[in-house]
């Protein structure tokens, strides 16, 4: 082997050693110490990795909390109990009214109540059907293809024989994945102690609604007139409940002529007596 080759190899080896040393020094100087709280927060999280917090998994959420980029109560699946544990780890306080949230489907127009204008043949996906205009006369109603049920990772929703999604309140974690899956914004998260709900999201006039669905809101304001708690108002032909004011008295339920407003009792519709 020539002396030139040996010198070249020696130079390359020296350069490699110097580069390695430089990288090691740079790592020590610029390395960011791992925050031990990340592991602690991740440990108390449910581990669902559902993404309902807005981050791609529990680890990413824990990292965001440690950096102060995510709230300590940002895990909807864990609820108040997990929020309290995360807050303790982070050394902060979390505000909560203690009310558990559950998903509620605001549509009562199933196969038996709502008119269909066509037979849908295609991808069993609500968003796909919605893009085509849907197969129901009501442009606001549930399409009944179960995208919300498929999105639920906790077996808390199933389709009824009438073609509407039903929520199992005991299993619901309020993760919000069903809310995201619905292209018609028919699902919201409501306090589970609220029993009175408006099962309609149509902004059509009363005459149009009557022609399309037997149980749609016609905007008659009968509910608004009997409510003594100022908890329900009709805007753009649609009644909406203020859950912060509602007392579950049920007077609006009894007053509703189309039975659009229901009082929960299992899955039955009940119109309580009004004194």
Between the alpha carbon of residue 43 and those of residues 66, 121, 172, the distances in Å are 13, 46, 22
What are phi and psi for residue 103, nearest 5 degrees? Answer: -75, 145
Mean pLDDT of the chain: 87
Of residues 163 and 273, the one with the higher pLDDT is 163
Over residues 61-87, mean pLDDT = 88
Over residues 70-87, mean pLDDT = 87
User: What pLDDT does 161 receive?
Assistant: 97
258 pLDDT above the threshold of 80: yes
155 pLDDT above the threshold of 60: yes
User: What pLDDT does 63 receive?
Assistant: 92
Residue of 151, 198, 142, 155 lying closest to 176 (CA atoms): 151
User: What pLDDT does 79 receive?
Assistant: 82
Of residues 272 and 91, the one with the higher pLDDT is 91
User: What pLDDT does 202 receive?
Assistant: 97
Over residues 128-145, mean pLDDT = 95
Between the alpha carbon of residue 223 and those of residues 19, 144, 264, 271, the distances in Å are 77, 28, 17, 13
Of residues 108 and 71, the one with the higher pLDDT is 108
Show the beta-strand stretches assigned E in the chain. Answer: 101-105, 157-159, 165-167, 187-191, 196-198, 232-235, 238-241, 261-265, 268-269
Residue count (the chain)? 275
31 pLDDT above the threshold of 60: no
Q: Which domains does the chain have, with CATH numbers?
A: 37-90 (1.10.15.40), 100-192 (3.30.70.20), 194-275 (3.30.70.20)
Name the percent of the chain lying above pLDDT 70: 83
Count CB neighbours of 193 within 10 A: 11
Binned at pLDDT 50, 70 and 90, residue 100 comes out as confident
User: What pLDDT does 93 receive?
Assistant: 74
Give Cβ neighbours of residue 243 (< 8 Å, ≥ 6 apart): 190, 191, 194, 231
Residue with tokens 């950096």: 67
273 pLDDT above the threshold of 60: no
Is residue 4 classed exposed, middle or buried when 0-12, 13-18 and 19+ CB atoms within 10 A define those classes? exposed
Binned at pLDDT 50, 70 and 90, residue 29 comes out as low
């Amino acid at each position: 082997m020539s002396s030139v080759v040996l010198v070249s190899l020696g130079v390359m080896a020296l350069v490699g050693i110097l580069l390695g040393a430089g990288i090691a020094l740079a790592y020590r100087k610029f390395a960011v110490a791992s925050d031990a709280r990340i592991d602690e927060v991740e440990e108390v999280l449910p581990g669902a990795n559902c993404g309902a917090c807005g981050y791609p998994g529990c680890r990413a959420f824990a990292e965001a909390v440690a950096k102060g980029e995510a709230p300590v109560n940002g895990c909807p699946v864990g609820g108040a109990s997990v929020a309290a544990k995360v807050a303790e780890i982070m050394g902060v306080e979390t505000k909560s009214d203690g009310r558990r949230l559950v998903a509620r489907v605001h549509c009562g127009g199933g196969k038996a109540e709502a008119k269909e204008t066509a037979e849908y043949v295609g991808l069993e996906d609500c968003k796909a059907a919605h893009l085509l205009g849907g197969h129901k006369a009501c442009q606001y109603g549930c399409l009944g293809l179960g995208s919300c049920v498929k999105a639920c990772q906790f077996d808390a929703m199933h389709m009824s024989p009438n073609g509407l999604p039903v929520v199992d309140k005991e299993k619901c974690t309020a993760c919000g994945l069903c809310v995201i899956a619905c292209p018609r914004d028919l699902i919201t998260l409501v306090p589970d102690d609220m029993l009175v709900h408006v099962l309609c999201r149509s902004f059509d006039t009363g005459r149009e609604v009557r022609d399309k669905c037997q149980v749609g809101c016609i905007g008659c304001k009968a509910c608004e007139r009997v409510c003594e708690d100022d908890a329900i108002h009709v805007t753009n032909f649609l009644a909406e409940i203020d859950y912060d004011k509602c007392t579950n008295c049920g007077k609006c339920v009894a007053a509703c002529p189309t039975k659009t407003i229901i009082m929960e009792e299992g899955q039955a519709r009940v119109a309580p007596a009004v004194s």
